[in-house]
């Protein structure tokens, strides 16, 4: 929405409240979605023997990525404009969402040992973690007539 607002030139003082509201909504969904995925998976996907170092390296990468975005934002805005910059960031977020949706398995209810075992076997796709539905129990014996 912000990309369209800036491209059409409707980004004057009268739009300030709308712009701030859009940024707050973006931060809400980003912090509760893609950013959260980056922080939570570190403790789940690294084997126990290297979990501390792996989680630290992952945190450093996340902070480095945030620093890179912050340092390049104004340069990109000066180069291609505010609207196209918003569209560029939107495209990155859509690509990240698709990646997480297609490549990250649902790990709820799995122990760290189960996850580590799958990683050792090279099985870390969503299909490798799907649960099979339990078959309904059959009634034992026959119904008795009264």
7-51 pLDDT per residue, tens: 666 666 777 788 788 778 877 777 767 777 778 777 777 777 888
Give the integer Cα–Cα distance in Å for 70 and 41.
Answer: 23
| Segment (H or E) for 136 | none
Task: Write down the pTM of the prediction.
Answer: 0.62
Supply angle C-alpha 19, 22, 25, rounded to 5: 150
**Is residue 142 domain-resident?**
no
**48 domain residue, yes or no:** yes
Q: Is residue 138 part of a domain?
A: no
Predicted confidence (pLDDT) per residue in 62-94, tens digit: 899 889 988 999 999 999 988 888 888 888 888
Residue 118 lies in domain: 2-128
| Residue 137 in domain | no
Please count the structural domains in the chain: 1
């Amino acid at each position: 929405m912000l990309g369209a607002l800036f491209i059409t030139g409707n980004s004057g003082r009268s739009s300030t409240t709308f712009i701030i509201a859009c940024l707050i909504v973006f931060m809400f969904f980003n912090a509760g979605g893609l950013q959260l995925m980056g922080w939570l998976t570190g403790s789940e996907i690294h084997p126990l023997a290297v979990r501390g170092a792996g989680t630290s390296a992952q945190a450093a990468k996340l902070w480095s990525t945030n620093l890179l975005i912050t340092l390049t934002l104004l340069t990109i805005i000066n180069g291609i404009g505010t609207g196209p910059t918003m569209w560029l960031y939107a495209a990155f977020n859509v690509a990240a969402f698709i990646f997480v949706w297609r490549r990250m398995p649902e790990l709820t209810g799995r122990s760290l040992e189960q996850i580590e075992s799958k990683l050792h076997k090279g099985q870390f796709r969503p299909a490798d973690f799907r649960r099979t539905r339990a078959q309904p129990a059959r009634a034992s014996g026959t119904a008795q007539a009264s």
